[in-house]
Structure 1
Amino acid sequence: MNSAYHARVASPHELGNSTSRQLQDSASALVVPVGSTEQHGPHLPLDTDTRIAAAVADALVNRLPGPWLVAPAIAYGASGEHEGFAGTVSIGTPALTKLLVEFARSACRWAPRVVFVNGHGGNVTALREAVALLRYEGRDVAWCSCVAPGGDAHAGHTETSVLLHISPGLVREDLRVPGNRASLAELMPQMRRGGVAAVSSLGILGDPTTATAEEGGRIFAGMVDAGVDRIARWAPDGEGMLR
């Protein structure tokens, strides 16, 4: 399926297409995609994380029971590890935390429930801190991530497959080359000192040459299924993450 984020097709489930009067008595809950603007190798667009989170969020609101809306994506995140590459724009963890807190404080004035759907691993600390505070304040807010069990870390097989599924025209297939395929645990000490550029001159952690649209469809469906299950169950842990 093509995401509304990519195609910009008007949807009745998009917050931006609604009017204040429509929402006045609707009790609509809100799904908020959270992504990043950061390098994804020579073959994927800078908004890959945002694009995936928005596509998953759009699919979620079409499957969740009750009235749900999807908000415009938060497209900047904590991406300091990618600042060695042109195009990356990181607002850092403190700023993202504050943004998430103020976003939900405002949205919860009319939305009974808010869930952040995260597409970038670097955002997790901000989500944990922000949502823990929001829940302490008595707001029904939670978060979950677009997770592919067993997937590689960045711009490799996993993300490239998903992009071939949701936005195939944006994948520069002739520029797909293998990156650093060592485990994230093995790479982390160097990355803490010098970011992704210290372990991969291409900005790729994994192998995008094995990616296919068919595999991307399977991975994407798994992300959506997991999100539907977690949101429907609504059992946030102490930091607001849905299990």
Structure 2
Amino acid sequence: MPAEPAPATPPGPATRLADLAWPDLTDRGPLVLLPLGSCEQHGPHLPLDTDTAVATAVAGRAAGRLRGEVDVLVAPAQPYGASGEHEGFPGTVSAGHDALRLLVTEIGRSMLRWAGRLLVVNGHGGNLVSLADAVTGLRGESRDVAWWPCLPPGSDAHAGRAETSMMLRLRRAAVQGERAVAGPTEPVEVLMDRLVTESVRGVSPSGVLGDPAGARAGEGERLLDVMADRLAADIRAWRVSGRGRLGRSERRPALAPVGARR
């Protein structure tokens, strides 16, 4: 695999909620970005926290782009989500939809006692069923909350070239490239009926949906930057749909029907 490029300048400590003390937040009312990921299999070659790592990186880069324009903080990531579709693989830990819906709801209620707005930056498509429900409920309580999906342009479904490229960029040492194998490469819409009935393991024994061949750290950098640019632009505009999605019209998450099983 090619050498990883030099790391981009990370957002300064002033953008990390975890680095602050309570007096630093007095009379601020910031926008808080909450990266939401998963602990789930990503093929035999990617780490279990891939979704969390991507969501955290995109949120941090967007916060850096908004410095001086928007008072924005990045909260510690939530690393467990609704990953029932991946429970056929060791290492996957799914909180399930009921627990995730309640967790996002209670985080939103608590955080918005002092924050002005909350945006959940979601890295795992299977979270969206419960995430959208929680955000819609919070908005019904007159709280300024939204969610935003990390959707790399032109990416494959799971643990393929896009995610492998991004993890080569973010944490190359955790990518075991010698284990990388291709999974089914049909569009997820073609595989959906089988994914619903058989779960991911029944469709792909490796857990990969796509082909990691050709993954490059440089491509990962480009994908992360495109998402961060889009997120920053959507935050500036702050247009929220009826289901709580910030920015562009909602896209149905690829694996949401499978994840909805638990």
Same fold by TM-score, threshold 0.5 exceeded? yes
Give the TM-score normalised by structure 2. Answer: 0.88
Question: Is the CA contact (8 Å cut-off) linking 1:196 and 1:203 kept in structure 2?
Answer: yes
- Are 1:237 and 2:203 counterparts? no
Cα drift, residue 10 of structure 1: 8.0
Q: Cα distance 1:2–1:172, how it changes in 2: closer, same or farther (>3 A)?
A: farther
> Deviation at 1:60?
1.3
* Contact 1:3/1:166 (8 A) holds in 2: no
The range that moved more, 16-25 or 80-89, is: 16-25
Distance 1:2 1:193, change over 3 A: farther
User: Any conservation in 1 of the 2:12–2:64 contact (CA below 8 Å)?
Assistant: no
What's 1:164 paired with?
168
1:138 and 1:63 map into 2 onto residues whose CA distance is 28
Report how far residue 94 of structure 1 moved.
Answer: 1.2
1:88 aligned to 2:84? no
2:20 paired residue number = 18
Q: Note the residue ranges of structure 2 that are not aligned, 5 or more in a row.
A: 1-6, 248-262
For 1:221, the equivalent position in structure 2 comes to 225
| In structure 2, distance between residues paired with 1:203 and 1:3 | 33
Q: 1:34 aligns with which of 26, 32, 36?
A: 36
Kindly indicate whether residue 170 of structure 2 is the aligned counterpart of residue 175 of structure 1: no
User: How far 1:66 sits from its partner (Å)?
Assistant: 2.1
Q: Which of 189, 194, 200 is matched with 2:193 structurally?
A: 189
SS in 2 for 1:56: helix
Would the alpha carbon gap of residues 193 and 2 (structure 1) be closer, same or farther in structure 2, given more than 3 Å must change? farther
Which aligned segments of 4 or more residues in structure 1 are displaced greater than 3 angstroms? 1-4
Between 217-226 and 41-50, report the one with greater CA deviation.
Answer: 217-226
**What's the C-alpha RMSD, in Å, of the aligned pairs?**
1.4
Structure 2 distance, partners of 1:205, 1:164, is: 18
Unaligned runs of 5+ in 1: none
- State the distance in 2 between where 1:136 and 1:95 align: 20
1:132 aligns with 2:122: no
- Secondary structure of the residue aligned to 2:94 is coil
Aligned partner of 1:100 in structure 2 is: 104
Aligned to 2:15, the other structure's residue is in SS state: coil
Amino acid at match of 2:34: V
Q: Distance in 2 between matches of 1:107 and 1:238?
A: 22
TM-score by length of 1: 0.95
Given the superposition, is the C-alpha separation of residues 74 and 189 from structure 1 closer, same or farther in structure 2, using an over 3 Å criterion?
A: same
Quote the offset at 1:11 in angstroms.
2.2
Which SS does the other structure have where 2:120 is aligned? strand
Question: How many Å separate the matches in 2 of 1:208 and 1:11?
Answer: 34
Aligned residues: 239
